[in-house]
Chains A and B, each alone.
Chain A
Amino acid sequence: MDPTDEQRPILASQVLERVGRDPARCYQCGKCTAGCPMSAEMPIKVGQIMRLVQLDRRERIFRDSSIWLCLTCETCSARCPMDCEPATVLDALREMVVQRDPALLPVRIRAMHQAFLAQIRKNGRVFEMGLVMGYKVRSGALMDDMTTAPGLYARGKLALTPRKLRGIADVQRIFNACGAQVGSGVADSLRYLGSRR
């Protein structure tokens, strides 16, 4: 082992190990924050997150909603002079939360990912009506957007019944083999919501 490894903040090393990008290279030029479309809404901006990773301040990052507001638009990565790929670093941070402390996920985000993955696991493809329903139930945001659903239907844009894959068992096996956690069933989510109320 390289003895200098132990002197590095652990979070930065973990990120490096996960995604092969080294947050230690960041020299805080702020180009990522300046170009980030979500900066205005993020309590902790992407450049600050890079700094907090260097400082090993995982609590501040993980207890904040900022990493979940990232659109993965990759503008930061495209412009980073040091090739740190902040978007990839954020991928790693989100994955760490999902795997280690899913309770820290913001409810709506968690609900959306759950609904989405549940759809794929169940049908192999995303069936949007089911997705919207699943999301609403999971997030508790029951009435938002419902008004537009008939609009979609009228334009032939919503299929109301799912179409299943022949190879659905194949897809389900991939889910199991990957140990995917978030895509749990509706009942599970309701329990989760119930416990929060």
Chain B
Amino acid sequence: MARIGVFVCHCGENIARTVDCARVAEALADHPGVEFSTDYKYMCSDPGQSLIKQSMKEHRLDGVVVASCSPHMHEKTFRKAVSAAGLNPFKCEMTNIREHCSWIHEDRAAATEKSTDLVRATVERVKYNQALSPITIPITPRALVIGGGIAGIQAALDIADAGREVVLVEKEPSIGGHMSQLSETFPTMDCSQCILTPRMVDVAQHPRITLHSFSEVDAVDGYIGNFDITIRKKARRVDEDLCNSCGACMQACPTRKIPSEFDAGLGTRTSIYVPFPQAVPNVPVIDEPNCLYLKSLARRRKSKKPARSRKPVCQRCVKACGPKAIDFQQEDRLVTEKVGAIVVATGYRLYDIGREQDEPGISGYGEYGYGKVPDVIDGLQFERLMSASGPTGGELRRPSDGKVPRHVVFLQCIGSRDPAKGMEYCSGICCMYTAKHVLLFKHKVHNGRATVFYMDIRAAGKGYDPFTRQAMEEPGVQYLRGRASELYRDGDVVRVLGVDTLSQEAVDIKADLVVLATAIRPQKGIQDLTRKLSVSVDHHGFMNEAHPKLRPVETATAGVFLAGACQAPRDIPDTVAMASAASSKVLALLSRDELEREPQVALVDTANCSGCFHCERACHYGAIEHEEIKDGQGRLIRVVARVNPGVCQGCGSCVAACLSNCIELQGYTDDQIFASIQAI
């Protein structure tokens, strides 16, 4: 007969107000297998835990049920206490009678009855609980950082400075990310590049950082402590080791009218290019669709005719290059790296108001002309127009005719808080960057007028509110509360129809330039990466943290951490803080030689396994392995399934899929669950 102890917690008044805790304890006292049953004011307090330990000894308990709050709150607490008293921690279970009962019901009798039912079901379950011991796995003491924006740079430097090796993967030709495109940063107005570029150089020169630029993560295998990463190094067609960054190739390149990604389409570049002068690595890349030579090769391949003339098309860069670093034969290359932990820092992209959207459920702004109205730009374009390194050398000139705009209208919340467009969340940073834009504009165009349409000003960071106040109180600046209904081109101005909802005054503005504070979205193709990493995303595509409050940089996949805007819209200070937090989590993990894990994993009864491998198809983690059973002479008898406990996450899909009923999920066995159902 089992000897189970039941401990019913009052949680002060929280439970006791609606649940008669003494009656619950009483009802359970006579239940078969219950040796001891009591109630107490605060079970999680020191005296409460002592009560449990004491009773365990006194009554020689072999199972413990604590009826109190959610196990998400205190399961660890009570299992630790039970363990301290000498019992396997997995012999302790909780019943949630607070969140799932006392807080959601008013009828005392019904709540008491429900609590009793729930505790009884747990008691029945605990009878079948087995002693489990944690699993240990070895650790590779290196980290992978995906994304070389400010988040990835910070994380890589923190980890490498602490003495661990880092592999940094960046998909663009240079690290730096969006921060390198900004002119100034709020609320201190320091120059973005001035504070960022030294860090980029640190990354390039760090002995413990391996940088794979113009590369993407192709495949992720393995599990926490032991990931195998396949990285695709895209064909740069310039040898990184030979190139001396002289720039002669770019001087020689005849295609000069290609819209520059770095200048958000407002400036131009050549087809062999470095995105910006301070790029790291400062090695050019050849843009295949635009390079005359590569285009001619593609044409020839298409027409399948033998080359009429042997004369090479263009190839002026090859002639110009002293160290002979240009290699048109170069192709994508796969390299593999072993790491123990992964930091995802893939950042964001801006929402586009265009008619065509890359995701179902999201639509553009037809009322704002779907982005086809000239002189309507987004915030990143405005940054480039303001930046000393930008296409206008830091002079504000509007795209259509190069005139200096006198009246600029800023529209906030474009694609933010707009469920009708499929974009319901607040992008968090736009109030601040719009205030920054206003101040920058007033700084450059002294007699200019700025009108800002805002919905609410969200400026809760340190020094943020005074910053937005400064913008609002600036002469020539008018903040209007409301969304503009419509904008359209009228001659050489853009008409903006809106209303100030505080005064109910309608406004019809003739603007010279309109700047849209467009929303932040996860990077394109993020679903592809999250699938490889087994990380889940929310319905907007932002990656899910393990717990919104208590585990903000961890993911549900052990060993994978998050930094920056891949998790939610973030500004620079938050991003950097998050990157350092993720690094400290990585370092905590990599500071050990091996790793303990919760033992709630699946286990195959190999004697009964028929080898159908339905479980393998059900397992998303690839935790099912093939095990060969051999006889005494080493001859193969049959192949059965085996669960790799390091990879198994304990979802139980394999258990439900097993045709011969021979997989059990430890901690959630059929016996345990049926016992609960019986009792409920």
Contacts and interface: CB of A to CB of B under 8 A. Distances in A.
> Do chains A and B interact in one complex?
yes
Interface of A: 27-35, 39-40, 45, 47-48, 75, 78-83
A81 B485 contact: no
A146 to B, nearest CB: 35
B434 to A, nearest CB: 16
Interface centre among A29, A32, A48, A80 (most CB of B within 10 A): A29
A34 B417 contact: no
B486 A35 contact: yes
Q: Which 10 residue pairs are nearest across A and B when measured between Cβ atoms?
A: A35-B485, A30-B482, A34-B485, A30-B501, A81-B418, A34-B499, A29-B483, A31-B483, A30-B499, A33-B499
A22 B420 CA distance: 14
Contacts of B499: 30, 33-34, 39, 45, 47
A89 to B, nearest CB: 15
Nearest to A83: B420
20 contacts: A28-B501, A30-B483, A30-B499, A30-B501, A31-B482, A31-B485, A33-B485, A33-B499, A33-B501, A33-B504, A34-B482, A34-B486, A34-B506, A35-B486, A47-B499, A47-B504, A78-B367, A79-B485, A79-B486, A81-B421
Contact of B367 (A30, A33, A35): A35
Nearest to A48: B504
B497 interface: yes
Contacts of B421: 81
A65 to B, nearest CB: 16
B419 interface: yes
Nearest to B417: A81
Counting chain B residues whose Cβ lies within 8 A of the other chain, the interface size class is: 20 to 34
Nearest to A42: B504
Nearest to A76: B485
Interface string B468-512: 000000000000011111100000000001111100101000000
Contacts of B506: 33-34, 39-40
A47 B500 CA distance: 11
A197 to B, nearest CB: 35
B558 interface: no
B419 A81 contact: yes
A75 B486 CA distance: 10
A48 B506 CA distance: 13
A34 B484 contact: yes
B526 interface: no
Given A29-B483, A39-B506, A40-B506, A34 B498 contact: yes
Nearest to B507: A34
A51 B46 CA distance: 52
Contacts of A75: 485
A44 to B, nearest CB: 9
A39 B500 CA distance: 13
A34 B500 CA distance: 8
B367 A29 contact: no
B367 to A, nearest CB: 6
Nearest to B454: A29
B373 interface: no
- Dominant secondary structure at the B interface: mixed
Nearest to A39: B506
Contacts of A48: 504
Given A31-B485, A34-B485, A81-B419, 4 more contacts: A34-B499, A47-B504, A78-B367, A82-B419
A35 B500 CA distance: 12
B517 to A, nearest CB: 14
A156 B152 CA distance: 76
Interface centre among A39, A48, A75, A79 (most CB of B within 10 A): A79
Contacts of B483: 29-31, 34, 81
A39 B501 CA distance: 12
Given A40-B506, A81-B421, A83-B420, A30 B481 contact: yes
Contact of A29 (B482, B497, B504): B482
A59 B361 CA distance: 39
Contacts of A39: 499, 506
Interface in B402-449: 413, 417-421
B501 A47 contact: yes
Nearest to B418: A81
B191 interface: no
Nearest to A3: B106
Given A79-B367, A81-B419, A34 B497 contact: yes
Contacts of B419: 81-83
Nearest to B500: A30
Interface centre among B418, B455, B497, B501 (most CB of A within 10 A): B501
A29 B418 CA distance: 10
A83 B501 CA distance: 18
Nearest to B365: A79
Contacts of B418: 81
A124 B483 CA distance: 44
A78 B483 CA distance: 14
A82 B421 CA distance: 9
A87 B506 CA distance: 19
A15 to B, nearest CB: 19
Contacts of A78: 367
A81 B422 CA distance: 9
A34 B455 CA distance: 14
A75 to B, nearest CB: 8
A34 B507 CA distance: 8
A195 B367 CA distance: 48
Interface string B249-265: 00000000000000000
Interface centre among B413, B417, B482 (most CB of A within 10 A): B482
A79 B363 CA distance: 12
Contacts of A28: 501
Nearest to A78: B367
